[in-house]
Amino acid sequence: MKKRRLIALAVCSALSIYSLSGCSFNIKLSFGEDKTQSQTGVFSSPSWSGSSSYVVNDDMERYDYSLKNTLSESQTELYNRLKNMLDEKMTAFDFENITNDDFKSAYYALLYDHPEYIRTGYNYTYSVRTTGDYTLFHADPALFSDDPEVMDKAEQELEEVVNQIVNTAKAQPDPYYMVKYVHDYIIDNTVYDMESFYASQGDNEGLIIASTAYGCLVQHKAVCSGYSAAFQLIMQRLGAECGRINGTRVTESGAHQWNYVCLDGEYYFMDLTWDDPIKDDGQDSRTYDYFLISDRDIAFTHVSDRTLPQPVCSGTRYNFFYYNGLYFDEYNFGSVCDAAVRMKDTGSVMVKFSDPDQLQRAVEDLIEGQRIFELDFVERGVSYSVSTSGCILSVEY
């Protein structure tokens, strides 16, 4: 029998809320020096002093783990004002009497909470002009494009794709199939953008399109932050709380990004990048190893850097293996056979076990002991893959 291994892409992109050094991206903030002005009346509008309430239409307050809910009152006012500016398609920002620390906290929180904002990136330059106790803070973020028409078109293209996905997802019979449709759509229509990853290894001062929802859903090329931004955007449009997590893979040195999502009051993790592996023969494939998994499951492979708020993810109901009766506390030949019979039309069976010891028992009995051939519809050689980190055995026949 020929053993087949799935080799998942080990490179991805994540942007930290406090430092933009994620995923081997060398994106650096370029801070302007403070400049003192001796004259008054030199400050241009639009600007904001933070002295009055600014209310915008925003759902983030009702999401327990949104970044907006981590901000101070003055930073929340700034967040709201920035949201209004982005809604008005502004790409440079002037504010009176604020600090860069407050701007950075509010701006990063807004972009992390709202992946639909693709015009501006996390990277920005700023300057401060001061007259006595009065200052003007000016920020110029990296732009999707210097051409406003190009940005308008990109936003429209993204909106059209998102609406299409959302409308189909809404028609699914329950939350499991709704999320599965989104998961499958993104994976089936996206390739990992190696070119953008390697290009980012230099001094990249701009916006990485592959790290946006647009790169994933419209250009169909993304790094991990693009996969996670796209999933977050769609799930939010479906009314589900969804955010992003920064961290690393246990076996990799580069930074990584994945999602959390809330379904029926329970939180789960989701990693679409690592559910989109490449086979040994170079062909793309789709797996469900990281489909709505718990803290316990993700601890095998992922380590959060805790720079972003994240829930305890203890949900199991909508996990792929639990939902489909493919999870087993202990290996039992009869139980796995029953699962294989239910899945025989797919030409494969995937089962998940409670721990590595039970997985090893299954491999020894089914594969090394060749009991898989006791199934009457398995007549020829099989190929298999073993995910020791996720305790998953996949067999194709």
Contact between 263 and 318 under an 8 Å Cβ cutoff? The reply is: yes
Please indicate whether residue 233 or residue 11 has the higher confidence score (pLDDT): 233
pTM of structure? 0.85
Across all residues in the chain, what is the average pLDDT?
84
pLDDT score recorded for residue 11: 33
Structure tokens that stand for 96 in this block: 């009176």
Residue 145 has pLDDT above 80, yes or no: yes
Question: Listing from the earlier edge strand, what are the strands of the sheet with 120-131?
Answer: 30-36, 120-131, 134-143, 93-96
The mean pLDDT value for 76-100 works out to 97
- Nearest residue to 140 (alpha-carbon basis) of 155, 127, 154, 130: 127
pLDDT value of position 43: 29
Of 65-69, 205-209, 232-236, 358-362, which range is least confident? 205-209
Q: Render pLDDT for 155-170 as a digit per residue (tens, 0 to 9).
A: 999 999 999 999 999 9
* pLDDT at site 22: 34
Residues 6+ apart with CB under 8 A from 25: 13, 15, 200, 204, 208, 211, 255
Q: Rounded distance, CA 151 to CA 108, Å?
A: 20
Q: How confident is the model at residue 285 (pLDDT cuts 50, 70, 90)?
A: confident
Q: Is 257 exposed, middle or buried (0-12, 13-18, 19+ CB in 10 A)?
A: buried
* Pairing status of strand 255-263 against strand 266-270: antiparallel
Percent of the chain with pLDDT strictly greater than 70: 81
pLDDT in tens, 175-214: 999 999 999 999 999 999 877 766 665 555 567 899 999 9
Residue 346: is it exposed, middle or buried by C-beta count within 10 angstroms (0-12/13-18/19+)?
exposed
C-alpha span between 360 and 354 (Å, rounded): 11
Per-residue pLDDT tens over the stretch 346-359? 888 999 999 999 99
**132-142 pLDDT, tens digit each:** 889 999 999 99
Query: What was the pLDDT predicted at 58?
Result: 83
Name the residue with higher pLDDT: 138 or 387: 138
The confidence score (pLDDT) of residue 280 equals 53
Q: Three-class SS string for the chain?
A: CCCCCEECCCCCCCCCCCCCCHHHCCCCCEEEEEEECCCCCCCCCCCCCCCCCCCCCCCHHHCCCCHHHHCCHHHHHHHHHHHHHHHCCCCCEEEECCCHHHHHHHHHHHHHHCCCCCCEEEEEEEEEEEECCEEEEEEEEEECCCCHHHHHHHHHHHHHHHHHHHHHHHCCCCHHHHHHHHHHHHHHCCEECHHHHHHCCCCCCCCCHHHCHHHHHCCCEECHHHHHHHHHHHHHHCCCCEEEEEEEECCCCCEEEEEEEEECCEEEEECCHHHCCEECCCCECCCCCCCCECHHHHCCCEEECCCCCCCCCCCCCCCHHHHCCCEECCCCHHHHHHHHHHCHHHCEEEEEECCHHHHHHHHHHHHHCCHHHHCCCCCCCCEEEEECCCCEEEEEC
